[in-house]
């Protein structure tokens, strides 16, 4: 590392240390806890019937989220959007089944996900992701009447062209555009300067019907980055021959929409706290929690569709495709567990380990832990750990409710996104999934 680079990094660190994160209002947490407690008896009844720990899935929440998401974008577009649920965010079959019943398609990123989508009789499937194997491409060809394949590279195009010709099958395709040529997302898609030769080559392959563009930006707490990407596509479209513009019939703007409450963080999850924790391990800020605010999905729809109407639809007759995952399933699944041991006044152990969510999430993220057995809108300090044979098995550092005792049933809400899919067969058996009626 050069001296100039060291100096730049030190300046960045100084800026981070001077930037106070936004505190999460205790009343917001209290209101959230209160909303969960309205169904307290139902959660306790599930534990009495099925035991503990449990994933609790609420399909009515999923249906309401799907209706709200689709309606937000449909109001802003001349043609209703085509919405595909990103299965990777929660791959439980009932989640996909519920969203299929709500009229959504499925976005899959592997042959394994594609097979599950086919088994659930999905008729409208987007197959995305890098590094598709020949076996996965062949599987997509086998269901060409249901699948739109998003090509990720020129090499993938060539392999698919060969496989499709050998199978005498034509498949509908799009191409992913890279949004991050220098960063960690550089593995995805093609560079924009490659688009015209990519379309030209695809058009030389009679079994590839290339008709769409896709891009994806993740962790979108506001629509600004996606809006900028849409605007940047206008000169790209205009640079294409008119015949290539006419063949484009869809624009897939991906997913990554953050749920409206925003990102809730422990002190160590903030930029400032993470840096201080690295320099001085064990530093804490007590009960303080922080938030990175996010915009409502209606704001995303209004801003993004305005940019699409202004900059793209005058040049190409495009249907908008969307791939929401986290936004849909974040509030649809909760984790319920039971206190099995109180080791100290400030340390309790539950029967659920964080293998149920797949990573040490609550060292940096924050979610309230709610005592369903002895409910209260008051918060008590005390570390709540899981039952794994590892010290990094943390559920939280406080609990909403009465003093914790063995047998108390606890609930960690809103664990529907990127938890169930990341669960691990590590030390303890995984919880059963039950559906809230």
Instruction: Please tell me whether residues 73 and 210 are part of one structural domain.
Output: yes
What CATH number does residue 316 fall under? 3.20.20.10
Instruction: Please tell me whether residues 128 and 228 are part of one structural domain.
Output: yes
**Residue 289 within a domain:** no
Secondary structure of residue 347 in the 3-state scheme? strand
Instruction: Please tell me whether residues 200 and 248 are part of one structural domain.
Output: yes
Cα distances (Å, whole numbers) of residue 375 to 402, 412, 419? 6, 13, 25
Element (H, E) at 292: strand 290-292
Instruction: Please tell me whether residues 324 and 335 are part of one structural domain.
Output: no
Number of domains comprising the chain: 2
Instruction: Please tell me whether residues 258 and 359 are part of one structural domain.
Output: no
**Residue 419 within a domain:** yes
Exposure string of 49-80, with b = 16+ CB inside 10 Å and e = fewer, is eeebbbbbbbbebbeebbeebbebbeebbeee
Instruction: Please tell me whether residues 84 and 204 are part of one structural domain.
Output: yes
**Residue 207 within a domain:** yes
Instruction: Please tell me whether residues 318 and 383 are part of one structural domain.
Output: no
Instruction: Please tell me whether residues 76 and 175 are part of one structural domain.
Output: yes
**Residue 70 within a domain:** yes
* pLDDT string in tens for the chain (437-residue length): 565 677 777 677 667 667 789 999 999 999 999 999 999 999 999 999 999 999 999 999 999 999 999 999 999 999 999 999 999 999 999 999 999 999 999 999 999 999 999 999 999 999 999 999 999 999 999 999 999 999 999 999 999 999 999 999 999 999 999 999 888 999 999 999 999 999 999 999 999 999 999 999 999 999 999 999 999 999 999 999 999 999 999 999 999 999 999 999 999 899 888 787 777 777 666 688 999 999 999 999 999 999 999 999 999 999 999 999 999 999 999 999 999 999 999 999 999 999 999 999 999 999 999 999 999 999 999 999 999 999 999 999 999 999 999 999 999 999 999 999 999 999 999 999 999 97
Instruction: Please tell me whether residues 117 and 95 are part of one structural domain.
Output: yes
**Residue 78 within a domain:** yes
Instruction: Please tell me whether residues 193 and 145 are part of one structural domain.
Output: yes
Domain that holds residue 394: 21-56+330-435
**Residue 285 within a domain:** no
Instruction: Please tell me whether residues 350 and 414 are part of one structural domain.
Output: yes
What CATH number does residue 429 fall under? 2.40.37.10
CB proximity list for 379: less than 8 A, separation 6 or greater: 26, 29, 287, 368, 398, 399, 400
d(CA 53, CA 35): 21
d(CA 66, CA 59): 11
Instruction: Please tell me whether residues 101 and 248 are part of one structural domain.
Output: yes
**Residue 15 within a domain:** no
């Amino acid at each position: 590392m050069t001296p100039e680079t060291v100096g730049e990094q030190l300046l960045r660190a100084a800026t981070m240390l001077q930037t106070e994160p936004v505190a999460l209002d205790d009343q917001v947490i209290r209101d959230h806890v209160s909303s969960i407690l309205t169904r307290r008896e139902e959660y306790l009844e599930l534990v009495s019937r099925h035991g503990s720990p449990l994933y609790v899935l609420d399909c009515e929440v999923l249906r309401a989220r799907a209706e709200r998401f689709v309606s937000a974008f449909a109001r802003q577009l001349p043609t209703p959007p085509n919405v595909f649920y990103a299965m990777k965010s929660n791959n439980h079959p009932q989640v996909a089944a519920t969203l299929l019943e709500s009229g959504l398609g499925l976005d899959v990123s592997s042959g394994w996900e594609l097979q599950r989508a086919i088994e659930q009789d999905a008729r409208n499937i987007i197959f995305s992701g890098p590094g598709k194997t020949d076996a996965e491409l062949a599987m997509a060809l086998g269901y060409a009447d249901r699948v739109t394949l998003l090509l990720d590279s020129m090499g993938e195009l060539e392999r698919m062209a060969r496989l499709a010709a050998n199978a005498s099958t034509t498949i509908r395709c799009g191409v992913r555009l890279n949004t991050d040529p220098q960063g960690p997302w550089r593995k995805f898609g093609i560079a924009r300067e490659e688009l015209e030769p990519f379309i030209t080559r695809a058009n030389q392959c009679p079994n590839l019907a290339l008709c769409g563009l896709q891009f994806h930006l993740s962790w979108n707490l506001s629509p600004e980055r996606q809006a900028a990407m849409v605007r940047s596509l206008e000169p790209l479209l205009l640079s294409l021959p008119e015949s290539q513009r006419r063949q484009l019939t869809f624009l897939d703007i991906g997913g990554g929409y953050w749920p409206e409450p925003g990102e809730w963080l422990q002190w160590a999850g903030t930029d400032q706290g993470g840096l201080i924790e690295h320099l001085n391990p064990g530093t804490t800020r007590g009960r303080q929690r922080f938030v990175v605010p996010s915009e409502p999905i209606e704001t995303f729809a209004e801003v993004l569709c305005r940019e699409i109407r202004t900059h793209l639809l005058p040049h190409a007759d495009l249907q908008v495709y969307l791939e929401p995952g986290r936004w849909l399933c974040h509030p649809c699944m909760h984790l319920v567990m039971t206190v099995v041991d109180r080791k100290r006044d400030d340390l309790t152990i539950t029967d659920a380990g964080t293998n149920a969510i797949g990573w040490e999430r609550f060292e940096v993220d924050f979610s309230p832990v709610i005592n369903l057995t002895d409910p209260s809108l008051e918060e008590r300090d005390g570390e709540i750990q899981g039952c794994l044979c590892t010290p990094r098995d943390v559920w939280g550092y406080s609990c909403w409710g009465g003093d914790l005792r063995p047998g108390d049933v606890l609930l960690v809400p809103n664990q529907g996104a990127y938890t169930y899919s990341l669960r691990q067969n590590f030390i303890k058996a995984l919880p059963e999934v039950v559906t809230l009626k």
